[in-house]
Amino acid sequence: MYVAGQWIDTEKKIDVLNPYDGAVVDAVPCADSGDVEKALESAVRGARTMAKLPGYDRYRILKAAAELVEARSEEFAEIITLEEGKSLAESRFEVSRAVQTLTLSGEEAKRLHGETVPFDGAPGGSGKFGFTLRVPCGIVVAISPFNFPLNLVCHKVGPALAAGNAVVIKPATDTPLSALKLTEILLEAGLPAEGIACLTGRGAEIGDALCSDRRVRKITFTGSRDIGERICRMAGIKKVTMELGSNAPVIIMPDADLEKVAAAVAATGYTNAGQVCISTQRVLTSEKVYGDFLDALKPKVEALVTGNPLDVGTKVGPMIRERDAIRVGEWVQEAVASGARVVTGGARQGAIYAPTVVADVKPDMRLFCDELFGPAVAVTRFDSIDEAIALANDTIYGLAAGIFTENLEWAMRFAREVEAGNLMINWGPQWRADLMPYGGLKESGFGKEGPRYAVEEMTELKLVCFHLKS
Ligand code: NAP
């Protein structure tokens, strides 16, 4: 791992396992509180260096890093598949998105600006001249989840560096290799030695020390709701961005093109074995097309080939750990015991859970009200747009939602009334362009990612006022 300007090792190691067959892919150091202290002490110096680095230099470093990631796309794609288990095609797509994210972040390094403040509009304000200055926070701690081990790290590190901060990365323990490689590339691209640290170690062991430290001025976290809540408690008075979980709904109105909807649900419910925060989980379907929709969806889901994610034909690989596949099976069985029915799937082999459709799911079932984060969708019927919107909002989460309809009135009601940060009309909730403002409402978190918006979260605004004689 990279701490205090040096690559270091520890005696205690953590094995990184291939989720498909459990083989050891690599081993990484296991950081402890002493390593956290070393990283933060160095990051204090790193933050001073970064704040002095001109925007154009920060742009050049991020642009060079984007080019290096692009040049090593295949290497990165293979690492992602080996540590995370998504199909090679999905890993390649993640790498191409990471190149975008770094490129966009680099551009933002040139655009940090404040604005003039019209003091003369205030009583007694004449003779004053003022403006705002946007300045870096200082030390940013970036804590990332396992499911997008490269691009989600770029969404934190890119804007943090663009804004002139030093950044301490804490990647997910299951998937630390992409973040380590990215650190290597940023240094190769010219990043000052103390501008970054990458600590591999268990969140449960080093998380509190990292998050509660007063030298840290900003925490950017992507992960589960419960860990997010703990981090908020530990953080005390500092800036925090929370990108948390979801059980994203899609609404199918009676006028929707069911073939198109079925293709979209098959595409957005099972990517990365359903381990995407905005995966389609709850499929709210009009009573009028309920049976026809299930008939259209079933063959499309059955066509999703499962297997070794390194094989070209594989669409759906393993879940990150076998115990997650077991959990998905338990939730499906629990729903069935309460009256739901499995339309297709429902079987498990090791960490692979077959792409599954469960129909007749009720709002009190875990498949509906909790975050599944697995390759199954829960289908629920409704009578009217009012009921569909109420069901969509019947959750503590609010990250993303979709609707399929040709009716403008229904689409606008959905956009206005559904409580979610990202709203897709005529597509499932799982869609993201890296430049867009992205983030959740309710307990899906707060603060936005997308480099332009994240840079605002990674900076502070100062107000300057000249009290002039005339
Ligand atoms: P997780 O278990 O919450 O872990 C996320 C990160 O937090 C990991 O790096 C983890 O380290 C660390 N962590 C654990 N305990 C900590 C503590 N006490 N203090 C500080 N950090 C701690 O989540 P995950 O299983 O990796 O990812 C899945 C979750 O992420 C889902 O809920 C998903 O919806 C959410 N997610 C949200 C978005 C979004 O944009 N909103 C995107 C992707 C994923 P260890 O690995 O060492 O435990």
Q: Are residues 160 and 306 in the same domain?
A: no
- Total structural domains in the chain? 2
Residue linked to tokens 């990292």: 210
User: What is the model's pLDDT at position 28?
Assistant: 98
Q: Are residues 293 and 398 in the same domain?
A: yes
Q: Are residues 232 and 276 in the same domain?
A: no
Handedness of CA 279, 282, 286, 290 (dihedral sign): positive
Q: Rounded to an integer, what distance in angstroms lies between the CA atom of residue 88 and that of residue 81?
A: 6
3-state secondary structure of 455: helix
> How far, in whole angstroms, is CA 23 from its chain's centroid?
26
* Per-residue pLDDT reduced to its tens digit, 150-169: 999 999 999 999 999 999 99
Q: Rounded to an integer, what distance in angstroms lies between the CA atom of residue 227 and that of residue 222?
A: 9
Ligand 1 centroid – CA 331 distance (Å): 21
Residue 430 lies in a domain: no
Alpha helices, DSSP H, located in 279-403: 290-302, 322-337, 366-369, 385-392
Ligand 1 centroid – CA 146 distance (Å): 7
pLDDT band at 53 (very low <50, low <70, confident <90, very high): very high
3-state percent helix, strand, coil for the chain, nearest multiple of 5: 40, 20, 35
Q: Do residues 427 and 278 lie in contact, with contact meaning Cβ atoms separated by under 8 Å? A: no
Q: Rounded to an integer, what distance in angstroms lies between the CA atom of residue 146 and that of residue 324?
A: 13
pLDDT surpasses 80 at 86: yes
Residue 125 lies in a domain: yes
Ligand 1 centroid – CA 341 distance (Å): 31
pLDDT band at 307 (very low <50, low <70, confident <90, very high): very high
Residue 435 lies in a domain: no
User: What is the model's pLDDT at position 249?
Assistant: 99
pLDDT band at 144 (very low <50, low <70, confident <90, very high): very high
Residue 222 lies in a domain: yes
Q: Are residues 191 and 62 in the same domain?
A: yes
- CATH assignment of the domain containing 265: 3.40.309.10
Instruction: Tell me which of 194, 243, 371, 443 is the catalytic residue.
Output: 243
Percentage of the chain modeled with pLDDT above 70: 100
Residue 432 lies in a domain: no
Give CB contacts under 8 A, 24+ apart, made by 302-308.
302/344, 302/355, 303/266, 304/266, 304/270, 304/355, 306/352, 306/354, 306/355, 307/352, 308/20, 308/21
- CATH assignment of the domain containing 217: 3.40.605.10
Instruction: Tell me which of 277, 443, 449, 457 is the catalytic residue.
Output: 277
Structural Rg of the chain based on CA atoms: 23
| Ligand 1 pocket list (CB less than 6 A) | 143-147, 152, 170, 172-174, 202-204, 207-208, 211, 222-224, 227, 230-231, 243-246, 277, 371, 373, 399, 440, 445
Atom of ligand 1 nearest to the CA of 438: 40
CA-proximal residue: ligand 1, atom 32 (nearest): 224
Give CB contacts under 8 A, 24+ apart, made by 431-440.
431/268, 431/278, 431/400, 432/278, 434/97, 434/100, 434/101, 434/104, 434/151, 434/155, 435/100, 435/104, 438/243, 439/241, 439/243, 439/399, 440/243, 440/244, 440/246, 440/397, 440/398, 440/399, 440/400
Atom of ligand 1 nearest to the CA of 143: 9
Give the domain range for residue 396.
249-425
Task: Name the helix (H) or strand (E) containing 429.
Answer: none
Residue 433 lies in a domain: no
Q: Are residues 446 and 391 in the same domain?
A: no
465 counts as catalytic: no
Atom of ligand 1 nearest to the CA of 245: 34
Pairing of strands 13-17, 24-29: antiparallel
Q: Are residues 413 and 458 in the same domain?
A: no
Q: Rounded to an integer, what distance in angstroms lies between the CA atom of residue 425 and that of residue 240?
A: 30
Section 423-428 average pLDDT = 98
Q: Are residues 281 and 408 in the same domain?
A: yes
67 counts as catalytic: no
Q: Rounded to an integer, what distance in angstroms lies between the CA atom of residue 43 and that of residue 194?
A: 6
Q: Are residues 266 and 230 in the same domain?
A: no
Tokens read off for 291: 């049976």
3-state secondary structure of 24: strand
Section 67-88 average pLDDT = 98
Q: Do residues 352 and 311 lie in contact, with contact meaning Cβ atoms separated by under 8 Å? A: no
User: What is the model's pLDDT at position 460?
Assistant: 98
Task: Give per-residue burial for 342-356: e unless 16+ CB within 10 Å, then b.
Answer: bbbbbebeebbbbbb
Q: Do residues 162 and 451 lie in contact, with contact meaning Cβ atoms separated by under 8 Å? A: yes
Q: Are residues 223 and 253 in the same domain?
A: no
CA-proximal residue: ligand 1, atom 24 (nearest): 145
Packing angle, helices 55-71 and 73-84, rounded to 10: 80
For 124: left if phi > 0, alpha if psi spans -120 to 50, otherwise beta; the answer is left
Q: Are residues 387 and 456 in the same domain?
A: no
Residue 406 lies in a domain: yes
User: What is the model's pLDDT at position 470?
Assistant: 76
| Average pLDDT value for the chain | 98
Measured at the CA of 390, the angle between CA 389 and CA 396, to 5 degrees, comes to 105
* Per-residue pLDDT reduced to its tens digit, 116-141: 999 999 999 999 999 999 999 999 99
Q: Are residues 110 and 62 in the same domain?
A: yes
User: What is the model's pLDDT at position 96?
Assistant: 98
Atom of ligand 1 nearest to the CA of 227: 3
Q: Are residues 284 and 185 in the same domain?
A: no
Residue 203 lies in a domain: yes
User: What is the model's pLDDT at position 196?
Assistant: 99
Name the DSSP letter for residue 291. Answer: H
Torsion of CA 266, 267, 270, 275, to 10 degrees: -150
